[in-house]
Amino acid sequence: MKTLLKGGRLINPNTQTDAVMDILIEDDVIRAIEPNISIQDATTVIQLTPEHWVTPGLVDLHVHFRDPGQSAKETTGTGSKAAAAGGYTSVCVMPNTQPVIDNLQTLDYVNNVIQNDAVINVYPSAAVTKGQIGEELTEMISLVKRGVVAFTDDGHCVMNANIMQLALRYAAMVEVPIICHAEDTHLSAKGCMNEGYHATLLGLPGIPNTAESVIVARDIELARFTGGRVHFAHISTRESVDLIRRAKADGLQITAEVTPHHLVYTDAALSGYDTDFKMHPPLRAEVDRQALINGLLDGTIDAIASDHAPHTPDEKTLTMDHAPNGTIGLETSLGVILTHFYQNQLLRPIEIIQRMSTQPAQCFNLPAGELAVGMPADIAVIDPNLCWTVDPKRFESKSRNSCFKGNNLIGKAIATFVAGQNVYADPTFEALKQTQLMAV
Ligand SMILES: [Zn+2]
């Protein structure tokens, strides 16, 4: 089986390639990347135009597939299909499942489900502490040997600095990062949105910026002290961006991600009491949003991650103070970033693919994020000018809690290949395939 993607604009940050180029997929690997590959060499030819981007499959470091335990919200099957529809070929799943991924038996279950049900590459993370209650470390070394790529108590912060320090030392031995969900729970307390003008106006308890930044500052110092690697999840405040920028200048092994929703919304979005805008960390003020954008542009922030957090409609119809946190994002992240950063000319195409594929892969040492002969054919085909409206009813995800519902976006993945398998194709891509087959 040989598939030829012909005439597209190939964007590969690792080689700094941004040029019209053909790419030949044979079975599960990339066989050739050349300016003009003969259609004789292929069984299927897809005739693209220079308007189409052919890129390494996108990589999302932060998704919740709710498996095991909450299959009404999402499963590995539905979550991975949603990822494929968003152009993703590799994701890292968070361990705050029921039960928590904090031991080898649960990890074995997860690995088994991934092998059977996932249509893309799914990499498990595991908890830093047993039950994510912050007291006793998990068997970190054994978990890494069985495939864990990072540790995190995501959803909770490791509040005990000594536990965090020990975790960093163990993680350093096996060269994996600790993902920090930075939230001092004494400061965030019962807050359910950003502390400030809008919280006061709405009469809701607020979460101050310091709830995040004091933990970011603490974990930077622990990384400095232990030599460990810290990856900051979903950073949301201007203070966090400043701290991370300085830590990187000091040469520390620090990486960070930001979500599309923190890049495009502020706490003003909660004015209609719509709980799809309730997340942890909360949407912040405009000055924070601008700092996140600057951090993304200047390289302080390495990766864009969706923090895809599915919840049932029943849960999300609770009042703002009781509804669970989070928005789904796998099927909208690329469109949101293309609309706000490509169409507005803030980032070049290669810089977008760097932040959504190449650099995320590097943060967790994943075998992804590049196009190279002999590597698994994990590829996204993107139409950066396709206009579409976000309709959660049409999502592959089981859940509908998208804060981007109703948005008019420009740009979308139209096909996704994982190890040479065409796991997602939008109708416009199918049309390209058929035309060329008839012509041949
Ligand atoms: Zn989190």
Above 70 in pLDDT, residue 436?
A: no
β-bridge pairing 193-194 and 230-232: unpaired
Residue 235 Cα, ligand 1 centroid: separation in angstroms?
9
Contact 110, 67 (CB under 8 A): yes
How far, in Å, is the centroid of ligand 1 from the Cα of 67?
17
57-363 placed in CATH 3.20.20.140 = yes
Tell me what pLDDT residue 437 has: 58
Distance of CA 32 from the midpoint of ligand 1 (Å): 40
**Neighbouring C-alpha atoms within 13 Å toward the C-beta of 11:** 25
Class of domain 2-54+376-386+408-439: mainly beta
- Give per-residue pLDDT as tens, 12-21: 999 999 999 9
Q: How far is the CA of 3 from the centre of ligand 1 (A)?
A: 39
pLDDT grade, residue 221 (50/70/90)?
Answer: very high
Domain boundaries, the chain: 2-54+376-386+408-439, 57-363
Residue 284 CA to ligand 1 center (angstroms) comes to 15
Query: How far does the centroid of ligand 1 lie from the alpha carbon of residue 233, in Å?
Result: 6
Residue 254: beta bridge partners? 230
Residues with Cβ within 8 Å of 202's Cβ and at least 6 positions away in sequence, in order, are 193, 270, 271, 273, 320
pTM above 0.75, yes or no: yes
Q: Where are the alpha helices (DSSP H) in 269-308?
A: 286-298
User: pLDDT tier at 1 (50, 70, 90 boundaries)?
Assistant: confident
pLDDT score at 439: 54
Band of pLDDT at residue 41, cut at 50, 70 and 90: confident
Name every residue whose Cβ is closer than 8 Å to that of residue 438 and which is 6 or more positions away in sequence: none
Cβ proximity of 407 and 390 under 8 Å: yes
Same fold? 2-54+376-386+408-439, 57-363: no
Longest Cα–Cα distance in the chain:
67
Residues 6+ apart with CB under 8 A from 418: 57, 84, 89, 119, 120, 121, 376, 377, 378
Range 259-272 average pLDDT: 97
Catalytic positions, written as ranges = 307
Distance 51 CA to ligand 1 centre (A): 36
For the chain, what percent of residues have pLDDT higher than 70? 98
